[in-house]
Chain A
Amino acid sequence: MSLQFNNEQMTEFKSLAARYPEGKQKSALLPVLHLAQDSFGGWLPTEAMDYVAGLLKIEPIEVYEVATFYSMYNLKPVGKFVFEVCQTGPCMISGSENIIAYIQKQLDIKPGETTKDGLFTLKLVECLGACGYAPMMQVGKIYREHLTKDKVDAIIAEYRMQVVAQN
Chain B
Amino acid sequence: MGVKLLLEKANVPGIRTYDVYRREGGYAAAEKALKEMSIEAIVEEVKKSGLRGRGGAGFPAGMKWSFIAKPEGVPRHLVCNADESEPGTFKDRYLMEFLPHLLLEGLLISSFALGSNDTYIYIRGEYAWVATILEEAIVEATKNGWLGKNILGTGFDCMIHVHRGAGAYICGEETALIESLEGKRGNPRIKPPFPAIQGLWMRPTVVNNVETLAAIVPIIKMGGEEYAKIGVGRSTGTKLISACGNINKPGVYEIDMTISVEDFIYSDEYCGGIAGGKKLKACIPGGSSVPILPANLLLKTAKGETRYMNYESLSDGGFATGSMMGSGGFIILDEDQCIVKNTLTLARFYRHESCGQCSPCREGTGWMEKILQKIELGKGEMSDIDLLWDIQRKIEGNTICPLGDAAAWPVAAAIRHFRDEFEWHINNRTLSQTSNFGLQHYADPIHVPA
Chain A residues within CB distance 8 Å of chain B: 19-21, 24, 26-31, 33-34, 56, 58, 62, 65-66, 69-73, 87-90, 92-94, 125-134, 138, 141-142
Query: 9 nearest interchain CB pairs?
Result: A29-B183, A70-B166, A71-B167, A132-B250, A72-B167, A131-B244, A26-B183, A19-B161, A141-B128
* A131→B164 contact, CB < 8 A: no
* A129→B126 contact, CB < 8 A: yes
Q: How far is the CA of A24 from the CA of B89 in the complex (A)?
A: 32
A-B contact pairs, 9 of them (CB 8 A): A26-B183, A56-B183, A65-B184, A71-B352, A72-B126, A88-B87, A88-B345, A131-B89, A132-B242
Task: Check A30/B87 contact, CB under 8 A, given A21-B201, A89-B349.
Answer: no
Task: Check A138/B252 contact, CB under 8 A, given A34-B166, A69-B185.
Answer: no
In the assembled complex, B195 has its CB within 8 A of some CB on chain A: no
Q: Which of B301-339 contact A (CB under 8 A)?
A: 329, 331, 333-334, 337
Given contacts A129-B124, A131-B90, A141-B129, 13 further A-B contacts (CB under 8 A): A28-B183, A30-B165, A34-B125, A34-B166, A65-B184, A69-B168, A69-B186, A70-B168, A71-B166, A93-B246, A126-B169, A131-B245, A138-B126
* B342→A126 contact, CB < 8 A: no
In the assembled complex, B180 has its CB within 8 A of some CB on chain A: yes
Closest to A89 in B: B345
Task: Check A132/B163 contact, CB under 8 A, given A66-B184, A126-B349.
Answer: no
Q: How far is the CA of A56 from the CA of B349 in the complex (A)?
A: 33
Task: Check A132/B166 contact, CB under 8 A, given A26-B183, A72-B125.
Answer: no
A22 to chain B, nearest CB (A): 11
Q: How far is the CA of A27 from the CA of B127 in the complex (A)?
A: 19
* B125→A30 contact, CB < 8 A: yes
Q: How far is the CA of A133 from the CA of B341 in the complex (A)?
A: 21
Q: Which of B215-265 contact A (CB under 8 A)?
A: 242-246, 250-252
In the assembled complex, B93 has its CB within 8 A of some CB on chain A: yes
Most chain-B CB neighbours within 10 Å: which of A20, A69, A89, A130? A89
* A132→B165 contact, CB < 8 A: no
* A71→B183 contact, CB < 8 A: no
Task: Check A66/B164 contact, CB under 8 A, given A92-B345, A93-B245, A132-B242.
Answer: no
Closest to A38 in B: B128
* A88→B349 contact, CB < 8 A: yes
B54 to chain A, nearest CB (A): 15
Q: How far is the CA of A89 from the CA of B129 in the complex (A)?
A: 24
Chain B residues within CB distance 8 Å of chain A: 75, 84-90, 93, 118, 120, 124-129, 161-169, 180-186, 201, 242-246, 250-252, 284, 288, 329, 331, 333-334, 337, 341-342, 345-346, 348-349, 352-353, 355
Closest to B120 in A: A19
* B342→A21 contact, CB < 8 A: no
Most chain-B CB neighbours within 10 Å: which of A29, A70, A90? A90
* B166→A30 contact, CB < 8 A: yes
Closest to A66 in B: B185
Most chain-A CB neighbours within 10 Å: which of B118, B186, B345, B348? B345
* A90→B331 contact, CB < 8 A: yes
Q: How far is the CA of A46 from the CA of B245 in the complex (A)?
A: 41
Q: Choose from A30, A93, A133 the contact partner of B163 (Cβ within 8 Å).
A: A30
Closest to A69 in B: B185
* B166→A127 contact, CB < 8 A: no
> Which residues of chain B are within 8 angstroms of A24 by Cβ–Cβ distance?
182, 201
> Which residues of chain B are within 8 angstroms of A126 by Cβ–Cβ distance?
87, 169, 348-349, 352-353
Closest to A18 in B: B161
* A93→B168 contact, CB < 8 A: no
A64 to chain B, nearest CB (A): 11
Q: How far is the CA of A30 from the CA of B185 in the complex (A)?
A: 10
> Which residues of chain B are within 8 angstroms of A142 by Cβ–Cβ distance?
128-129
* A33→B166 contact, CB < 8 A: yes
Task: Check A65/B349 contact, CB under 8 A, given A30-B164, A70-B167.
Answer: no
A66 to chain B, nearest CB (A): 6
> Which residues of chain A are within 8 angstroms of B186 by Cβ–Cβ distance?
69-70
> Which residues of chain B are within 8 angstroms of A31 by Cβ–Cβ distance?
163-164
Q: How far is the CA of A72 from the CA of B168 in the complex (A)?
A: 9
* A73→B252 contact, CB < 8 A: no
B286 to chain A, nearest CB (A): 13
Q: How far is the CA of A21 from the CA of B159 in the complex (A)?
A: 12
Most chain-B CB neighbours within 10 Å: which of A21, A29, A92, A132? A132
Q: Choose from B89, B128, B129, B349 the contact partner of A129 (Cβ within 8 Å).
A: B89
> Which residues of chain A are within 8 angstroms of B162 by Cβ–Cβ distance?
19
* A70→B165 contact, CB < 8 A: yes
> Which residues of chain A are within 8 angstroms of B346 by Cβ–Cβ distance?
88-89
B133 to chain A, nearest CB (A): 12
Q: How far is the CA of A21 from the CA of B88 in the complex (A)?
A: 35
Closest to B250 in A: A132
> Which residues of chain B are within 8 angstroms of A65 by Cβ–Cβ distance?
184-185
> Which residues of chain A are within 8 angstroms of B93 by Cβ–Cβ distance?
129-130
A92 to chain B, nearest CB (A): 5
A98 to chain B, nearest CB (A): 13
A62 to chain B, nearest CB (A): 8
> Which residues of chain B are within 8 angstroms of A26 by Cβ–Cβ distance?
182-184
A72 to chain B, nearest CB (A): 4
> Which residues of chain B are within 8 angstroms of A128 by Cβ–Cβ distance?
126
